[in-house]
Amino acid sequence: MNLAQGLRRAAQVYGHRPALSSGKRVVASYAEMAERVQRIAGGLLALGLRPGDTVALLMANVPAYLEHLYAIWHAGLAAVPINAKLHPREVAWILENSEARALILDAAHAAEMTPDIASGIAHRIVLGETDLARAAPAPLAEVAPDALAWLFYTSGTTGRPKGAMLTHRNLWAAIMNYFADVDAIGPEDCMIHCAPLSHGSGLYALPHLLHGANNVIPQSGGFDPAETLDLIAHWPRCSFFFAPTMVHRLIHAPEIRTADTSNLKTIVYGGGPMYVADLQAAMDVLGPKLAQIYGQGEAPMTITGMDKAMHVDTGHPRHLAHLGSAGIPRSDVDVRVVDADDASLPPGQVGEIVCRGEVVMAGYWRNAEATAETLRGGWLHTGDVGSFDEDGYLTLMDRSKDMIISGGSNIYPREIEEVLLRHPGVAEVSVVGRKDADWGEVVVAFVSRRTGAEVSAADLDALCLAEIARFKRPKDYRFLPALPKNNYGKILKTELRKLLE
């Protein structure tokens, strides 16, 4: 079933309710949004686009983003949402690789994407210059469940990004899984999109639109702690998708001391490690309003999770261990931890995390070799390393490529990072391996101090020696003003390794 059917249903049931807002101002009801989506779809088809064609979206967070995303589906086309912070040359590579026939972009990106860069695009639609909504409305296209809906390009921290093919079936499964495992949504709710709509926040717009919630775009188009707190005070029952770094920034913002956060309903966090100390601090400040998801673009936001109740289950004897985990498998996803031969490992043993279910991608776009390797045996091989405990909670160690082997022993950076973050003067930390002639690799910790804090290598070394085995402790500490991150807030270990070189 076409994903745009969800918007049509919402318009029938919640037509008078706000669908899209900018800052504190409602810009479209569900009835108005649905009508514009039909007309934009008609405008796309009038260009000569045909069912199955790919259409790229390149713009900052604005209400028009969701209108054009749903119009692409309404017309039976496939969307290619592109991270708006990418370099024009990176964008050009995605446009070429995805074989996009049309590019919808805002004025700021239109100035960057000159004709020589986006030379293969047949149709260039700039918001504010071309209004596709002037066209006659198009009927809802019939699409097969396994038709391509969203071509999700990986962040590409190592090599070229790959396009994960997400079908209408995949995204319907992700929507239903949100209702089952993450949160209930109603028409009195709203979601405030501070994170990129090209990524997780856009995916979580889908269940909110289906159930008539208001989708609010900050006027800044992104995440500013003061603006976010102001919007929380204004809009009732608001939810967010945040990277852990955004949670950290929010609870340490000066404005949090006097902010009214009573309207806050849920913060779903994911996309990187949330350390236990940060999580406990966030719950102290915000209350029992955090839910965790673990997933990938290849299984959009849906492998394991930990709902709000699990976060505050302090009566469980292993509550702290659970807080440091990625939760339990989602309702309709099988998850295993396997060895190098893909044999299942028992609880407590570390291996690669694999999963299968309706939410797993159809494969990589135009990359049969990578598809065969990643989906071998019918299971998505995530490349992440972890283990289950006796309660069925999955603990993530690291990406397999981030594991450090020193003197023949496996060392997982996250374990060390968790210890170092217990120091009150440490704001951020990331641990990597450095080549060593004697040991193969040795552990190096990159640390960012909190403002005004005094933290020395000796302080951190003493903390590690008190908490973990001696062979795991860092042999070197490097202090930086801030750690390098990609556009989604993930710390870039690749950049840290370059500093070591």
| Predicted pLDDT at 440 | 75
CA distance linking residue 338 with residue 14, whole number of Å: 46
Q: Is the pLDDT of residue 44 over 70?
A: yes
Q: Cα 258 to the chain's mean position, in Å? A: 29
Which strand (E) or helix (H) includes residue 398?
Answer: strand 394-399
Q: Is the pLDDT of residue 399 over 90?
A: no
| Predicted pLDDT at 227 | 98
Question: 362 and 148 in contact (C-beta within 8 Å)?
Answer: yes
Question: 132 and 157 in contact (C-beta within 8 Å)?
Answer: no
Taking residues 316-329, report their average pLDDT: 94
Of 272, 241, 203, the residue nearest 486 (C-alpha): 272
Which residues have CB under 8 Å from 109's CB, separation 6+? 58, 59, 84, 91
| Predicted pLDDT at 158 | 44
**pTM listed for this prediction:** 0.84
Q: Is the pLDDT of residue 157 over 60?
A: no
CA distance linking residue 345 with residue 130, whole number of Å: 56
Give the Cβ contact number of residue 69 at 10 Å.
28
For the residues of 275-333, what is the DSSP string, one character each? Answer: -HHHHHHHHHHH-S-EEEEEEETTEEEEEEEE-HHHHT-TTSTTHHHHHTS--EE-TTE
Of 19, 122, 132, 21, the residue nearest 75 (C-alpha): 132
User: Could you report the per-residue pLDDT of 271-302, keeping only the tens digit for each?
Assistant: 777 888 889 999 999 999 999 999 989 999 89
Positive/negative CA dihedral, 385, 388, 394, 396? negative
pLDDT band at 83 (very low <50, low <70, confident <90, very high): confident
What is the chain's Cα-based Rg? Answer: 23
How many residues appear in the chain? 501
Q: Is residue 134 helix, strand or coil?
A: helix
User: Could you report the per-residue pLDDT of 91-128, keeping only the tens digit for each?
Assistant: 898 999 999 999 999 999 998 888 778 888 999 999 99
Structural domains for the chain: 4-388 (3.40.50.12780), 403-500 (3.30.300.30)
First-last CA distance in the chain: 51
Question: 410 and 386 in contact (C-beta within 8 Å)?
Answer: no
The token pair at 466 is 């008190």
